[in-house]
Structure 1
Amino acid sequence: MLAKLDSSPLGTTVRIARIDWTSMTHDEGRRLREFGLMEGCEVVPMHRGSLFSREPLALTIGRMKVIIRGKQAAAIEVEPTTP
């Protein structure tokens, strides 16, 4: 079952199933690819914004921690990983 990255549970590893590259600018897409966000990659959503906002979203990708915008996270579909 696919879900959007922006609504994935915090602290749970998910696998990127699909990214809607057309919903973001060329520079946004390039930045995400530089971080290693591609189909098949496993990420862990760690923290969302503040008390009053759900963005930005902090992710762990391997040993790296990155922050992406809510709009970008909404363009990424993820699936649960199997243990």
Structure 2
Amino acid sequence: MLDRAPLGVAVRIARIDWNAMSADEGRRLREFGLMEGVEITPLHRGSIFSRDPLALAVGRMRVIIRARQAAMITVEAAAGDERRSA
């Protein structure tokens, strides 16, 4: 899941549980370009005491999403990365 993906390592979105989120949340993620097959890089998480929010690099954009939303996104190793799925 994206909420547990290592920071600074590119991953590919394998699946998004669109049914687990509201229509507004889904629309917002799509507007940010977060869809199956897209490569993203988790950059940093909230404060020391919280994992919320999560900053991502999506192409040249920087996007902030909630940890709850990130938990609905399954990721896998990006092309050329031999690590296992997150």
1:26 matched to 2:23:
yes
Corresponding position of 1:72: 69
Shift of 1:80: 0.4
1:1-83 matches, cutoff 5 A: 4-83=1-80
TM-score between both structures, scaled by the size of structure 1: 0.95
**Which amino acid is the alignment partner of residue 23 of structure 1?**
A
- Return the TM-score normalized by structure 2: 0.91
Query: Paired residues, what number?
Result: 80
SS in 2 for 1:31: helix
Aligned residues: CA RMSD: 0.5
Quote the sequence identity (%): 68
Unaligned residue ranges in structure 2 (runs of 5+): 81-86
Gaps of 5+ in 1: none
Say which structure is richer in strand.
1
Which consecutive aligned stretches of 4+ in structure 1 deviate over 6 angstroms post-superposition? none
* Shift, 1:34, TM fit: 0.3
**How much does 1:5 deviate?**
0.2
